[in-house]
Amino acid sequence: MIIALSGTPGTGKTSTAKLLNDCNIINMNKLIKEHKLYTGVDHKRDTLIADQKEIQKQISHEMRNINRGDSNNTTVIEGHLSHKLENIDAVIVLRCHPSVLKKRLDKRGYSKPKIQENIDAEAIDIILSEAAQVCEQVYEINTTGNTVQQTQEQVEEIIKNIQENKQMPVKYFPGTINWIEEVNSSR
C-alpha cells in the first residue's frame, strides 16, 4: 500500500514521517534534491520547479527497490507534492491553522510573499482539493494544537484503519477542517 503524506509546508509532514512505525518512508523533497528532479529555480517564489515526470520515474524506481528488499507492504511518501503521484492508494493531508502556519514558516525564514502564498493555499484547501481530484481515499488531520507524537498516532490510526478495512472516524473526513474565513484576516 502506498500512502501520500501531504500538506502545505509547515504542517508537520517531515517531523511526523520520521516517527512513523512499520512503514517505509520516502522523503520527496530529499529525493528531488539528491537526484536533481527539477527543471530550474523559481527565484520569485524561492523554490525549485519540480519535474513531475522525473519524480514519478524515480519514485517508481524507489518502490521497486523497497518491494524487493522489504516485507513491509506500507510505504509513506512524504512531501507537499506527494498527492500528485500516480498509483497512490490513499492521501493523508496534514492541515494547520493559518495563523500558526504563518509563525512556523516565519521561523523557517520564508519570505513574506512565500509565507502569504502558503497560508492562502492552506486557507482555501488547495492540497486537499488537488488530492480529492486524483485519489478516492483522502483524509485530513488538524495538526494545529498537536505534538508531533499526537500527529504520528493519528496518521498511524488512519493507516491501520485502511489496512484493516475498518470504518474511518469522521474527524478525518475531508471537509471537516475549514480555514476559509482566515484568508482575509491573514493579510
Tell me: is residue 79 an annotated ligand-binding position: no
Tell me: is residue 40 an annotated ligand-binding position: no
Tell me: is residue 8 an annotated ligand-binding position: no
Tell me: is residue 108 an annotated ligand-binding position: yes
- Going by C-alpha positions, the residue among 121, 58, 134, 52 that lies closest to residue 89 is 134
Handedness of CA 24, 28, 29, 35 (dihedral sign): positive
Cα–Cα distances in angstroms (integers) from residue 86 to residues 24, 36, 142, in the given order: 18, 20, 25
Contact 139, 7 (CB under 8 A): no
Q: Which residues are annotated as a binding site?
A: 10, 12-15, 108
Q: Which residues are annotated as a binding site for ATP?
A: 10, 12-15, 108
